[in-house]
Amino acid sequence: MSEWIKVCALDDIDAEDVIRFDHGDRTFAVYRSEDDEVYATDGLCTHEQVHLADGLVMDEIIECPKHNGRFDYTTGEAKGAPVCVNLNSYPARVEDGTVFIQL
């Protein structure tokens, strides 16, 4: 059964940025958009398993730091070569200034 997991304070993520969040043996990328919405995806690029949290957030896109593979972080959709496989995305919300994701 899925549950809401506490990630961090909203202020721990800059606007239009991403952080890495490890939980158990899994790793996630948690995003804060320019208009303060939060999103979560798998943490590793589906191309070469690089941590997306080291990448660049532009509008709704996260770009992988190694090969510039691009995903829509609001949906996890791969946006073209060199990434071909979508990321899993997860519900995320902010409650009293704290970010939660549903796993």
Distance set, CA 81 to CA 54, 66, 77, 84, 96 (Å): 19, 13, 12, 6, 39
Minimum CB separation of residue 51 from another protein in Å reads 8
Which string of x and - marks every residue 42-81 that binds another protein (by CB under 8 A)?
--x--xxxxx---xx-x----x-xxxx-x----------x
Which positions ≥6 away from 70 have C-beta within 8 Å?
A: 61, 62, 63, 64, 78, 79, 80, 83
Minimum CB separation of residue 42 from another protein in Å reads 11
- Interface residues toward another protein, by CB under 8 A: 14, 17, 44, 47-51, 55-56, 58, 63, 65-68, 70, 81-82, 84
